[in-house]
Chain A
Amino acid sequence: MSALIEVKGLDKAFGGVHAVEGVSFAVEAGQVYSVIGPNGAGKTTLFNLISGIYTPTKGEIRLNGESTAKLEPNQLAERGMCRTFQQMQICMNMTAIENVMLGRHLKLKSNLFSTLFRLPALLRDEQSCRQRAAELMEFVGCGEYLDTEASAMSYGALKRLEIARALAAEPKVILLDEPAAGLNGTETAALEELIRKIADQGTTVMLVEHDMKLVMGISDRLLVLNYGRVLAEGIPEEIRNNPDVIAAYLGG
């Protein structure tokens, strides 16, 4: 049985600067897999490569055994990958629930004719889509915002909304890029709880995060990047005791 995500010898250079260099690892289905490392270690670049936003300079990424080299982000979404962003990508020209409903884009059959004439079949689909989106907003903890304009929501609520949107696609794997950034202690605790719940439902979670306490608590395995290269990889226990990691983090 091959891994859900398999990365081999991945390289990404921006005009001679290697943001990611020779990175290999594998994520098994059902895991919570975290990528950590100091600022500028290449974590977000790695996520952008995996989700198809950047094309690798060298190396290979396989999703469920299939090479993703020629796939656009929307095609990866069709294959069960969804993500959030460090710099949140919310459609501010929509309401909160519309953002989540957007997440169900692939689940909806839409044809122009039934759209233009607003046929009953379309209305039924929309109704159930809306219901599902409302449930998800409840699930991530922003159920009170349903018809609020996204532009009027708080930062923390938007962070949760973005997760709800990603979940709406019912992904096999969800990539969360620094979901705890900018959250306070209570919010972070709630987030930890949420990630656990997502994982318990059988969704594979990949996480980029700074908050060590959060990461160590929920991850099955961790990847530590430093200057674009792999510094260590393993279960939390191993990482915690790895001298290289300690040196990198304590600046020793």
Chain B
Amino acid sequence: MKKRTLMLVAGLSASALALAGCAPGDAGNDAGGDSTTLKVWSWQAASSADWERIFDVYEAANPGVTVEFEGFQATEYNQLLSTGLAGRDGPDVAMIRAYGGAQGPIQAGQLAPIDDVVDGLDLFEPTVLQAAQGREDGVTYGVPFAYQTMHMFYNKDIFDANDLEEPKTWDEFIQLQDDLLAADITPMALGAREDWVLPMFHDLIGSARYGGSEFGAEVQAGTTDFTNPDYVASLALVQQMQQYFDPNVSAIAVADATLQFTAGQAAQWPGGSFDLKVFQDSAPDTEWGVYQVPPAPGSVLPAAVTPSYADGSFGINAASDKQEPATDLLNWMTTVEFGQLVGDELKQFSPLAGVKYSDPLMQEMNDLYLANPSPYLLLVDFRYGDPTGTAVLGPDIQAMFLGQKTPEQLAADLQAGISTWFTPGS
């Protein structure tokens, strides 16, 4: 009995280690058959049908090539991809996470460099292409397929019913929120229980205040850091906005907040372009609008900016024995034809110039971005180590909403967290 209990204890305890041991594997080369079937992996399982329609166009133009698209759950994808790229049954072409998320497979040598074999990489904005480049070597390993932009969405029906308009100045912006409160309407819906939305909200409200890409460049050069008063002031704007959310905002999940917005219980939604399809599908009869938050007093940048980031890219598995057809597919991904399909089928923004959007709201969002883009700083530049910038700021903004921390403490925490792995000028 004693031995049996001890064995039981040992066996059950082992599961934590077993879980860890399942993660990586030894690299192996898979010499598959003669088939020209290209296996493409993605984290966009919900859009699998849309992606298949896009690849149908490629298959029709390239007889003999079959694209086998496999969509996985976004939350499981990193794990699956690291196993797939290291093992035998991995993809030939895979969606690669952007910026810091791409560095794992790049440093492991699991992705093929494409600078010399894929044409048209110069068509991409440098901050977009950076998403698919090695931080250490500067080599490109993927073709970016989409980018996301951040906007303040609003319910036009609520605005019309209350004679409200898109604000052009910060004062008008604050007045708008106060008017909504006075009309007993929750001004903004936010799922603050999920910390990942909070650094995005901060950039949407405060990017112009701290200086957007200019500030980013100064941090990179080491001439300033996150404790800069302008950055602290941008965090104070987030604190100022708390009064315009539901009083229990810290307990509200993103799904609940989405329902709050689409059901007309809140007038505005500070979010990303990825939210649009959800709103249109959930409340097809509601008319939606977007605007950029005007710069707050004392802002470093004079005009409203649109924070954005590349969503991901398609890279080639270095171990795939179908390098040539995979390279051909990536070459096609730099064409406007592919970009237009991404816009039409997926309702996502293609980073390729010349793509037109049939949805007028998408066109407006894209025009806002093109007029005054700004990088989503913590994602674009500060996800290359542990802790990532968003991993520090997200929970810290929750703490600020709960009254546990001040904007100054948030800035100090962020600087301290980033400093454990980031050296200016590196």
**Do A and B interact?**
no
